[in-house]
Amino acid sequence: MKLICKKSDLLAGVNIVSKAVPSKTTMSILECILIDASEGVIKLIANDMELGIETKVEGEIIVAGRVAIDAKIFSEIVRKLPDNDVMIEVDNDFTANITCENAKFNILGKSGEDFAYLPEIERNKSINLSQFALREVIRQTIFSIGDDRNNKILTGELFEVSRNNLKVVALDGHRIAMRNIELEDSYEDMSVIVPGKTLNEISKIVTGGTEDDMTIFFKDNHIMFEFDDTVVVSRLIEGEYYRVSQMVSKDYETKVTINKKEMLECLDRATLLIKEGNKRPIIITIGDSDMQFKMNSFIGTMDETIYIKKEGKDMMIGFDPKFLIDALKVIDDEEIDIYLVNPKAPCFIRDENESYIYLILPVNFTVANN
């Protein structure tokens, strides 16, 4: 194999496929990036068997062939090369010569014979959306997935297509994050559970804006994301997702409208009094025109009052402040509506057309301590 490409193009490709290189594995071939120049285009591929990424790199193939090179070493070398043309030449024993200006590296590669290529995915069920929309919807929900290895379904997100609506849901037993995105076209109904790890990685490499489209393909066991010169294939999580619609109610006794930034900064201050691993609730007292936030720990106490608009009953309710903070951080609205029923029932933060719904369970607290 012998090829020439620009350092910047090569680096961009390496950065993309590196997301599918496992940090720990016993199979050393999985730690490699495959450079495949055997079929007229230069492709970089990495695959940890759950998640596989393939991307094309512009360049000139002088001798066709392929080689697998340790991903960490290869990406470090490419990053530090001068910003110029890079030549990669592989001899018969798979030693890779990487040359750029006066710098020459010599790295032992592998034949790539036992490298796992990406599975073939039929292209019959798919949706289109912008790269920006996918990246945003992941950011706005991913914090609510569970890290519970015993319940694998919680470690993924529901992607549910119904006509021209994409619903994305994450939940962990204490809270639900739900977003609805309107699609340009209508599609047949589809529903899959995508691993959180896949979504985390893809949100880092889908860097396009609202004008940059991408396609998501659905199959029984796989999902495929296609954008620019890149294809990402991931296994799906098997099983049936929770019936979230049954948990989301529109009834409420109290509706609070509050400035999001003020509430977020107040909660942020309150958590200063919580040392790591030590859970303390924020106690919220809702009055006619203000809401009082109280935190009490062995470090000290904090209280703060914020002006609100209120409909319905007064209420005193406690929350894990982290859950409120996580939700508020990803809401772009200046003012938010919080719907409450009673101190034992979940609260809902949602906008009018339900483009987002965040459900958070309250925590018990004894007034005497707070």
Instruction: Tell me which residues touch its own copies (CB under 8 A).
Output: 73, 76-77, 80-82, 102-108, 265-266, 268-269, 272-273, 299-306
How is the beta sheet containing 32-37 ordered, strand by strand?
65-70, 32-37, 42-47, 51-57, 230-235, 222-227, 213-218, 126-130
Number of neighbouring beta carbons within 10 Å of residue 185: 9
- Provide, rounded to whole angstroms, the least separation between the CB of residue 8 and its own copies: 16
Spatial CA neighbour of 157 closest among 93, 242, 85: 242
- Provide, rounded to whole angstroms, the least separation between the CB of residue 42 and its own copies: 21
Q: Which CB sits closer to its own copies, 98 or 202?
A: 98
125: helix, strand or coil: coil
The residue to which tokens 């199959």 are assigned? 219
Can you tell me the distance from the alpha carbon of 280 to that of 318, in angstroms, rounded to the nearest whole number? Answer: 9
Q: Which CB sits closer to its own copies, 216 or 256?
A: 256
- Provide, rounded to whole angstroms, the least separation between the CB of residue 273 and its own copies: 8
- Provide, rounded to whole angstroms, the least separation between the CB of residue 21 and its own copies: 17
Can you tell me the distance from the alpha carbon of 329 to that of 275, in angstroms, rounded to the nearest whole number? Answer: 21
Q: Provide the 8-state DSSP code for 289.
A: S
Q: Which CB sits closer to its own copies, 102 or 124?
A: 102
Q: Which residues pair with 194 in a beta bridge?
A: 157
Q: Which CB sits closer to its own copies, 273 or 357?
A: 273
- Provide, rounded to whole angstroms, the least separation between the CB of residue 290 and its own copies: 9
Which residues touch 224 (CB under 8 Å, ≥6 apart)?
121, 216, 217, 231, 232, 233, 234
- Provide, rounded to whole angstroms, the least separation between the CB of residue 300 and its own copies: 4
Q: Which CB sits closer to its own copies, 188 or 268?
A: 268
- Provide, rounded to whole angstroms, the least separation between the CB of residue 79 and its own copies: 9
43: helix, strand or coil: strand
Q: Which CB sits closer to its own copies, 28 or 128?
A: 28
247: helix, strand or coil: coil
Which residues touch 115 (CB under 8 Å, ≥6 apart)?
29, 32, 34, 45, 47, 68
Q: Which CB sits closer to its own copies, 77 or 129?
A: 77
